[in-house]
Amino acid sequence: MAGLFERIVNLDRRWIFLIVLLSVATPIVIPIGLPVTTTGPTRAAFEFIEALHEGDVVLISFDYGPSSAPENDPMAEAVMRQCALKKLRFIVCALYPLGGLGLANNVVAKITGELPNLRDGVDYVNLGYKDGPAAVMRRMGDDIAGAFPTDVHGKPISEIPLMKGVHDLRQVKLVFTAATSLIGEWWITQVHPQVGIPVIIGPTAVSAPKYYAYLNSGQLVGMVGGMKGAAEYESLLRARYPQLATFYTTTRAFTATKGMDGQTVLHTVILLLLVLGNVAYLRQRRASAKARA
Amino acid sequence: MNLEFGRVTLVILFAIVPIVGFFLGLRAPALRSRIPIFVGVFAGLIPILSMYVPRKFIAGPTGMSPRLDQWLIILAGFALLLGIANVLQNNTRKISRREKGWPFSVVLLIGLFVTGGFGIYGGISGQGIGIAADGTPTPFQYVTNWFFQPLQSTIFSLLAFFMASAAFRAFRARNTEATILLVAAVLIMMGRVPLLELLAVPIPSLQPAAAFASQGLGKLTEWIMQTPNGAAQAGIIIGAALGAASMALRVILGIERGYLGLGKGD
Amino acid sequence: MHPPEIGVWIAAFLTIACLTFLYKDNPFFRFAESLFAGVSLGYYVGIVLNQTLLPNLIAPMREHFGQNWDLVVPGLLGVLLYMRYAPKIGWVSRYALAIYVTYYIGLDFTRRIHGEVLPQLARAIQPLSSFDRATFFSLVYVLGVFSVLVYFFFSKEQGPITRRISRLGIWFLMISFGAAFGFTVMGRVALLIGRLNFLILDWIYPTLGI
């Protein structure tokens, strides 16, 4: 038995890589369909947007890149669908330099493809990307056109109907930032004190623990944390808008809900590895203590 | 010509003074570091003062601060590309000297010039770099979709494997603190996913109990995240923020000069 | 089911090339890695030119120079940044660098005070007007915040009392780091799920006609 534990602890890490690969690939090939339970921060985010009125303006900021797209894309899509169904007007911008613009373009194209009634410039506008996020946010607080003189296609802001009543962030009811880095945090710590706008953040799971402090202090009105948070948001959206079920039940489209199967299986595997590793360690420690005594 | 107070002052501070400083610096090398630091003091103080001094000349629509924000958006764009010159230098040297791995430098430069070229073409032609009205991607967006995004996603996804391997090999309950860390990690990992429901999949009669236990675990997880974790994170945020704020003042006032490549006494 | 287009094949090849690193370092991975570095830098060129320089610098000066004459200054400062690569006059880049760094640090200063320190301290100071569960948990919260701050106080040697409070702070930090580890596992796994989803459902299945 001791020999077996020794062998397990000294296993070539490439076997562990294979176990990880199989753990994640299996639920994709054989979906399990595990349930998703919702948590307070995600419910708070969902209900805040539900409480907004038709015609209210929401800013959706793409502050992430392909390195966290499986987590942030589903939540950005879900929020955009919710805004479209509630007839909220939304402004899209991207402040993350390494890939934010491409992802913003793709998500907007996807949602406007699903909901062809959305009119560019009237129901939504894509302002594109801008460098220097801190300076951009500061400028948007007082004058959006000062930071974004045109939309992503090069059309001047003054010619866009949606922007006619929106001079600065004080006319925007909410900022939703899907974020992988500090840029998302700056909406909370820089823009919120500057103009008092409510902020919902959709961070990656890696940075989500930090944002509980901002939730507690009231600087955030909600949080959609990681792929789990996105899956929770999808389940809330499906429950409130049954007509969206088709987008979440086709076998091909990647959704956070489907991703949770793989998360659960791999969590189980990693917990098993943790337990095995620590049991082997404790046995080793006991054996060396006996040897010394 | 728009001669608002804000613009004129900024031009004097950040153009005229540096020009004078350049000519003075040609004659007196000591001024080559002092005058930039002097200019930097104003660049750092203007955004701070605009928050506390709500006067038109600094914080109003025609004041210094709004225009400086717009200038720094442009400057940030130039700064983002700064590393490219360094990369070009290093890789062309590697290729010309046929150093080890030089073919990969060729690949890097091809990637750079092709993608950058598509970006420049998009700008010059007016086509842009996104998706056209008819849904077709521009060449730049095509490279983004099928080269850039898959590469970045996959390289970061390798971390999942290394993290699992590290957890297995290194995560040990060596002392009280490590045990607390391990227990918290296990509880969070169990509470955030429907793990008990997964284990009950082969035993349908246990599924209601698993769902009930999972709910309780989920509530415990949320409490851990909100209260002990929230408290620790708040402490870290306050401590780090105070340190960063004092460092910011040191840099603005020119006490800290490392960012200019200067040591103490330079 | 349509067979996958050429872009999907390219993405699949690059994905597998990156994943081969898990077995061992090899020329396919090095190729993908170098291509990633080059394409990322080229991406920066594209977005900076099209999204910042053209609409915020070049177009305003071209269309309304009288209103935007002062934008010549940030344009020249931006060019000045690159002077650091010129051996004899590299020192002129210090002007642009000083303005860039101190401006963003000035923003950081106000962000830290108004966005981090003050709101977090306000949350930690709670009235003890009633003795219920919420107040008890608030007390736990306050204890956590202050014990962590005591732990991070390195300016003076810690005495017997502060050492004990620090120990409590460390325990709060360990809970937080354990939670962070649990969340990190989720975050990293999510990326892998995304890639495998692409490989299996967007490449293998359509290729096999499933």
| A93 close to A127: Cβ distance less than 8 angstroms | yes
A127 touches chain B (CB under 8 A): no
3-class SS of residue A123? coil
More confident residue, A114 or A92: A92
pLDDT of residue A129: 96
CA distance A263 to chain C (A): 7
**Rounded to a whole number, what is the largest CA-CA distance in chain A?**
84
Tally Cβ neighbours within 10 Å of residue B110. 15
In 3D, which of A120, A88, A81 has the Cα closest to residue A243?
Answer: A81
Sheet holding A89-94, edge to edge: A124-129, A89-94, A57-63, A174-179, A199-203, A222-223
pLDDT of residue A70: 94
Residue C209 zone, left/alpha/beta (φ > 0; ψ -120 to 50; rest): left
Six-digit token string for A282 = 């404790």
What is the C-alpha to C-alpha distance for residues C55 and C44, in angstroms, rounded to an integer?
A: 16
| C166 close to C147: Cβ distance less than 8 angstroms | yes
In a domain, B19, yes or no: yes
Residues of C in contact with B249 (CB under 8 A): 109
pLDDT of residue A69: 95
In a domain, B259, yes or no: no
3-class SS of residue C209? coil
pLDDT of residue C87: 81
3-class SS of residue B193? coil
pLDDT of residue C57: 96
In 3D, which of A35, A259, C14 has the Cα closest to residue B145?
Answer: C14
pLDDT of residue C54: 94
More confident residue, A121 or C130: A121
In a domain, B265, yes or no: no
CA distance B205 to chain C (A): 29
Query: Angle formed by the axes of helices C160-197 and B149-170, to 10°?
Result: 130
Probe site for chain B from A67, A181, A195 (most B CB atoms < 10 A): A67
Residue in A with minimal Cα distance to B134: A109
pLDDT of residue A293: 75
**Model confidence band, residue B265 (pLDDT cutoffs 50, 70, 90):** low
C122 has pLDDT over 80: yes
| A70 close to C193: Cβ distance less than 8 angstroms | yes
In 3D, which of A93, A105, A121, A101 has the Cα closest to residue A191?
Answer: A93
Six-digit token string for C55 = 């609409």
Probe site for chain B from C18, C44, C105 (most B CB atoms < 10 A): C105
Average pLDDT, chain A: 92
What is the C-alpha to C-alpha distance for residues A205 and C194, in angstroms, rounded to an integer?
A: 14
Contact C192/B116, CB-based, under 8 Å?
no
pLDDT of residue A243: 86
| C124 close to C141: Cβ distance less than 8 angstroms | yes
C128 has pLDDT over 80: no
Residues of B in contact with C61 (CB under 8 A): none
- Tell me the per-residue pLDDT of A192-229, one tens digit each, with 9 for 90 and over: 999 999 999 999 999 999 999 999 999 999 999 999 99
What is the C-alpha to C-alpha distance for residues A169 and A195, in angstroms, rounded to an integer?
A: 7
In 3D, which of B163, B78, B182 has the Cα closest to residue A17?
Answer: B163
Contact A128/C44, CB-based, under 8 Å?
no
Residue in B with minimal Cα distance to C89: B26
Report the residue from A99, A130, A277 with minimal CB separation from B168. A277
Percentage of chain B exceeding pLDDT 90: 72
Residue in A with minimal Cα distance to C178: A209
What is the DSSP-derived secondary structure letter of residue B137?
B
Mean predicted confidence (pLDDT) in C100-120: 95
Contact C191/A70, CB-based, under 8 Å?
yes
Residue in C with minimal Cα distance to A205: C187
Residue in A with minimal Cα distance to B157: A67
What is the C-alpha to C-alpha distance for residues A180 and A67, in angstroms, rounded to an integer?
A: 8
Report the residue from B43, B48, B107 with minimal CB separation from C38. B107
C56 touches chain A (CB under 8 A): yes
Six-digit token string for A204 = 């990656």
In a domain, B98, yes or no: no
Question: How many folded domains does chain B comprise?
Answer: 2
CB within 8 Å of B82: residues ≥ 6 apart = C81, C82
Report the residue from B133, B145, B167 with minimal CB separation from A270. B167
Q: Which of A159-168, B159-168, C24-33 has the lowest mean pLDDT?
A: B159-168
Most confident of A1-5, B203-207, B234-238, C155-159: B234-238
Write down the domain spans for chain C.
Answer: 1-63, 70-125, 132-210
CA distance C156 to chain B (A): 15
pLDDT of residue A251: 58
- Tell me the per-residue pLDDT of C55-75, one tens digit each, with 9 for 90 and over: 999 999 999 999 999 999 999
Instruction: Number of B to C CB contacts under 8 A, please give it.
Output: 422
Probe site for chain C from B8, B14, B177 (most C CB atoms < 10 A): B14
In a domain, B255, yes or no: no
Which residues are paired to A178 by β-bridges? A62, A202
Q: Which of residues 57-116 of C touch A (CB under 8 A)?
A: 59-60, 103-104, 107-108, 110-112, 114-116
In 3D, which of A184, B146, B130, B150 has the Cα closest to residue C47?
Answer: B130
pLDDT of residue C119: 95
What is the C-alpha to C-alpha distance for residues C92 and B19, in angstroms, rounded to an integer?
A: 10
Distance in Å from the first CA to the final CA of chain A: 22
A114 has pLDDT over 80: yes
In a domain, B38, yes or no: yes
- What residue type is A235 in one-letter code? S
What is the C-alpha to C-alpha distance for residues A87 and A54, in angstroms, rounded to an integer?
A: 5
The hierarchical CATH code for the domain A40-250 is 3.40.50
Q: End of a domain among B80, B96, B129? A: B80
What is the C-alpha to C-alpha distance for residues B73 and B79, in angstroms, rounded to an integer?
A: 10
| B185 close to C63: Cβ distance less than 8 angstroms | no
A249 has pLDDT over 80: no
Six-digit token string for A98 = 């390494």
- Tell me the per-residue pLDDT of A33-69, one tens digit each, with 9 for 90 and over: 899 999 999 999 999 999 999 999 999 999 999 999 9
CA distance C201 to chain A (A): 6
**Long-range Cβ contact pairs of B211-220 (< 8 A, separation 24 or more):** B211/A35, B214/A37, B215/A37, B217/B187, B217/B190, B217/B191, B218/A37, B218/A39, B218/B191, B218/B192, B220/B187, B220/B191
Residue in B with minimal Cα distance to C90: B32
Mean predicted confidence (pLDDT) in A132-150: 96
Over the Cα atoms of chain B, what is R_g? 28
Residue in C with minimal Cα distance to A271: C182
Residue in C with minimal Cα distance to A68: C191
What is the DSSP-derived secondary structure letter of residue B15?
I
A232 has pLDDT over 60: yes
3-class SS of residue A27? helix
What is the C-alpha to C-alpha distance for residues B73 and A40, in angstroms, rounded to an integer?
A: 37
- The residue range of the domain holding B200 is 171-243
Contact B107/C31, CB-based, under 8 Å?
yes
C16 has pLDDT over 70: yes
CA distance A202 to chain B (A): 16
A170 has pLDDT over 70: yes
What is the C-alpha to C-alpha distance for residues C106 and B251, in angstroms, rounded to an integer?
A: 9
| C116 close to B244: Cβ distance less than 8 angstroms | no
Please name the residue ranges forming H helices in chain A: 2-9, 13-29, 40-50, 69-85, 100-114, 133-142, 144-147, 182-186, 192-195, 208-216, 226-240, 245-249, 256-292
pLDDT of residue C145: 93
Six-digit token string for B198 = 């997964």
Contact C51/A129, CB-based, under 8 Å?
yes
More confident residue, B135 or B144: B144
pLDDT of residue A30: 92
| A198 close to A223: Cβ distance less than 8 angstroms | no
- Tell me the per-residue pLDDT of B122-133, one tens digit each, with 9 for 90 and over: 999 988 898 877
**Long-range Cβ contact pairs of C9-13 (< 8 A, separation 24 or more):** C9/C203, C10/B146, C10/B147, C10/B150, C11/B145, C11/B146, C11/B147, C11/B149, C11/B150, C11/C198, C11/C203, C12/B150, C12/C198, C12/C199, C12/C203
Average pLDDT, chain B: 92
In a domain, B57, yes or no: yes
In a domain, B71, yes or no: yes
- Which chains form contacts with chain B, at 3 or more CB pairs under 8 Å? A, C
A28 touches chain C (CB under 8 A): yes
Residues B207, B213, B216: CA angle, nearest 5 degrees: 145
pLDDT of residue B266: 56
Write down the domain spans for chain A.
Answer: 2-31+258-292, 40-250
pLDDT of residue B264: 59
Over the Cα atoms of chain A, what is R_g? 23
- Tell me the per-residue pLDDT of B38-57, one tens digit each, with 9 for 90 and over: 999 999 999 999 999 989 99
In 3D, which of A218, A181, A209, A41 has the Cα closest to residue C120?
Answer: A218
Residues of C in contact with B51 (CB under 8 A): 110, 114
Name the pTM for this structure: 0.94
Mean predicted confidence (pLDDT) in B56-65: 91
CB within 8 Å of B159: residues ≥ 6 apart = C188, C191
In 3D, which of A59, C121, C94, A121 has the Cα closest to residue B234?
Answer: C121
What is the C-alpha to C-alpha distance for residues B220 and B196, in angstroms, rounded to an integer?
A: 15
Contact A209/B233, CB-based, under 8 Å?
yes
Q: End of a domain among B24, B52, B80? A: B80
Six-digit token string for B197 = 């429901």
- Which class for C5: exposed (0-12), middle (13-18), buried (19 or more C-beta within 10 A)? exposed
